[in-house]
Structure 1
């Protein structure tokens, strides 16, 4: 499979080049030259396959012979070694739990797959790979654990000071080895801008072999399609085949992966983009005007993105056909008070504890079902992180019901290791040059 830049559709690179270069020099994002449509027999019989089997089939169709089948199967079996169940809350409402991986967030799918692909492509004697990643919360922890100890790689994680939860920060800053953390005096958008500028800086690229672990990297996006197919497979087993997905959306890689799965033939009825106050996309879907804006801090911090990088991929999939895009995606936004009300409502109705991002996706689904009177469809909302990551957000009477996994309890005994930097590029560049 060849890939092109969204800013130059005539360009062509291999999957390996797209993974290692991460972002084209023209500042677009990589997309497959053709999106393969999976055969109906596979789609209609998804309920007969396991998650690793589904992942292998989807990845093989997207990547072709870029990774031989036997090697790809080894990568899949190693990376996707945890489950992602759908849990029934109502007859037409299910939650897809994506937090059963090592970092307790959906980012484990992308980070683990990508780290193993990079390790597979790295050849002995090659220049060390420097992975730069900006995080608004969960990406950093997943990438840190995904790359920890991977030979010939070094990961630099940028996160906004004071804007990630305590547990998220510990996941970013307590790893050591080949993982280092930078605490930036700014927002996630500032962190993301620093990473993007580094990729186009001639001096840094001459000295280092830079790549990204953010969802701008196509190797992060591809494995996120796996859980959409797998959720549909689980729904089929329950006799459900008309599915609407409600997706907590920040940088729009998650819903972008869902749309890629839809393009590959997954018969999804509709997608809901659920955001917090950072509502650039819901506003676009209402007005037709795409207007990025500075991000604002909210209780659902992993979605605090005012200029979503992956939106260009979604626009590319629809060839800027706003009317068609609006038929496939609806946008809903919620403020912090509404988020807290949703957390409480989910618990009151189902005795289910949801993180703030998950609560927003649930509320968007309920509002959509009420608006559209969709009695004949089943809504699946994505739970993107374990609620234990947000003890300060959950009301006390609900927080007491959270079961804290052992790996979180052990984090609290570790010491934070992070370097503080401003949001100016020269300071970041100097840090990279002086800490070779």
Structure 2
């Protein structure tokens, strides 16, 4: 399979080149030349397959031409050693719980898959060290860092905005050591993302060290996120709730919803998607006006969605050939303030006993407000509520039990490299490595 750049000025790349480079030479994002529909027979019996079996069928459509079947199967099965259950919250609204992996966030799927795929390419080619740069607004850093921890030939630099991720999130990638370095940037997530992008475009830096990205700009990070949309459909079909399925995705950098849109192109029977935003409502405004106007991000209690210029918007535009009408016909948008998010967490907890995290609360509320008669709603619960402990406890007034996996991270000692948002300083630091 060949991969092309959304900017259309770079040569096509192989899967290996796309994964190792991360970003195309013209600063565009890689897209597969084909999105292969899966046969109807697969959908007819999808509810009889396990999560890894479903994921392997999807992975094969994207990666099967470039990775031997047994290797790809092993990568998929190693990645998905945890469940992603669809849980009823209320009436026709279900939560797809994506927080049962090692770092209790949806990014465990993409992070673990990419680590294994990149490790395979490094071993295959006998490459020297590859350096992974990843910007995080919360959960990406921990998922990628833990996915790559101890992988030979790879060093990971996690860039995160100082004081803008929760303490538990921070501990999950600053306490690991070994081949993981946390870089604490005095700025916003957008500043971290800009540092990563500028590093890829710097000729001198790229001659000094082999760089790649593990943000959702990397095809090996975002495409595997399609796996759980198919598995969610299988679970809903098993309970007779798959007709007129509406999927709501709490959206920040837009890799997650883009993976779902790829699934729809492959024939996955999702009626429509909702992108739920916090106050960083750039996509919501685009849907309303047809104009994309990025702006500096605003800090909210749903911090993983605090993105003012979502990278993957370029992929959404490309997928729909730039047509605002086509995008708006399959995706609607909602946007919520911190006050509305708090209100939703409290109300749902009081009425149902189900505890939402701030991001899932945006997803739940959008469904509650948008679902039409005869539709079933599924929202992505992207991280465990305990990752936002102080926020959630202050809303519901009840102590939240911290899962053992998180408790283990909390015992570690924070180690980070302080960094300004100035690219020259970041480049100088990397040139010394």
TM-score range, shorter chain: over 0.9
Where does residue 175 of structure 1 map in the other structure?
176
Cα deviations by residue, 1:159-192 (Å, 9 ceiling, x for unpaired): 0000000000101200000000010000000000
Aligned-partner Cα distance in 2 for 1:285–1:265: 24
Give the deviation of 1:117 after TM superposition: 0.1
Give the deviation of 1:324 after TM superposition: 1.2
Give the deviation of 1:90 after TM superposition: 2.3
Aligned-partner Cα distance in 1 for 2:46–2:408: 38
Where does residue 220 of structure 2 map in the other structure?
219
Cα deviations by residue, 1:359-398 (Å, 9 ceiling, x for unpaired): 11111111112xxxx1211100110000001112114473
Aligned-partner Cα distance in 2 for 1:243–1:9: 38
Cα deviations by residue, 1:15-36 (Å, 9 ceiling, x for unpaired): 1110001000101000000110
1:82 aligns with 2:82: yes
- 8 Å Cα contact 1:194-1:425 kept in structure 2: yes
* 1:262-411 paired onto structure 2 within 5 Å: 262-369=264-371, 374-396=372-394, 398=396, 400-411=398-409
Q: Secondary structure at the match of 1:47?
A: helix
Q: Secondary structure at the match of 1:391?
A: helix
Aligned-partner Cα distance in 2 for 1:422–1:302: 21
- 8 Å Cα contact 2:144-2:214 kept in structure 1: yes
Cα deviations by residue, 1:49-69 (Å, 9 ceiling, x for unpaired): 111001100010112320011
TM-score normalised by structure 1 residue count: 0.97
- 8 Å Cα contact 1:134-1:158 kept in structure 2: yes
Where does residue 157 of structure 1 map in the other structure?
158
- 8 Å Cα contact 2:10-2:24 kept in structure 1: no
| Pair 363,174 (structure 1): closer, same or farther in 2 beyond 3 Å | same
Aligned-partner Cα distance in 2 for 1:153–1:72: 20
- 8 Å Cα contact 1:353-1:401 kept in structure 2: no
Where does residue 423 of structure 2 map in the other structure?
425
Give the deviation of 1:411 after TM superposition: 2.0
Aligned-partner Cα distance in 2 for 1:311–1:159: 21
| Pair 173,259 (structure 1): closer, same or farther in 2 beyond 3 Å | same
- 8 Å Cα contact 1:6-1:313 kept in structure 2: yes
Aligned-partner Cα distance in 1 for 2:197–2:186: 17
Q: Secondary structure at the match of 1:230?
A: helix
Give the deviation of 1:409 after TM superposition: 1.3
- 8 Å Cα contact 1:251-1:308 kept in structure 2: yes
Give the deviation of 1:306 after TM superposition: 0.4
Q: Secondary structure at the match of 2:211?
A: strand
| Pair 3,292 (structure 1): closer, same or farther in 2 beyond 3 Å | same
| Pair 397,253 (structure 1): closer, same or farther in 2 beyond 3 Å | closer
1:121 aligns with 2:121: yes
Instruction: Structure 2 unaligned segments of length 5 or more: list them.
Output: none
Give the deviation of 1:125 after TM superposition: 4.0
Give the deviation of 1:321 after TM superposition: 1.1
Give the deviation of 1:402 after TM superposition: 2.5
Where does residue 29 of structure 1 map in the other structure?
29
Q: Secondary structure at the match of 1:299?
A: coil
1:189 aligns with 2:227: no
- 8 Å Cα contact 1:391-1:399 kept in structure 2: no
Cα deviations by residue, 1:204-242 (Å, 9 ceiling, x for unpaired): 100111000000000011110000000000000011222
Cα deviations by residue, 1:120-172 (Å, 9 ceiling, x for unpaired): 11136422000000000000000110000000110000000000000001012
Aligned-partner Cα distance in 1 for 2:396–2:402: 13
Aligned-partner Cα distance in 2 for 1:78–1:272: 31
Give the deviation of 1:294 after TM superposition: 0.5
Aligned-partner Cα distance in 2 for 1:377–1:154: 46
Where does residue 71 of structure 1 map in the other structure?
71
Instruction: Structure 1 unaligned segments of length 5 or more: list them.
Output: none
- 8 Å Cα contact 2:345-2:395 kept in structure 1: no
Aligned-partner Cα distance in 2 for 1:340–1:397: 6
Aligned-partner Cα distance in 2 for 1:397–1:14: 48
Where does residue 110 of structure 1 map in the other structure?
110
Aligned residues: 431
Where does residue 203 of structure 2 map in the other structure?
202
- 8 Å Cα contact 1:353-1:402 kept in structure 2: no
Give the deviation of 1:413 after TM superposition: 1.9
Aligned-partner Cα distance in 2 for 1:279–1:137: 18
| Pair 399,262 (structure 1): closer, same or farther in 2 beyond 3 Å | farther
Give the deviation of 1:345 after TM superposition: 1.1
Aligned-partner Cα distance in 2 for 1:75–1:85: 21
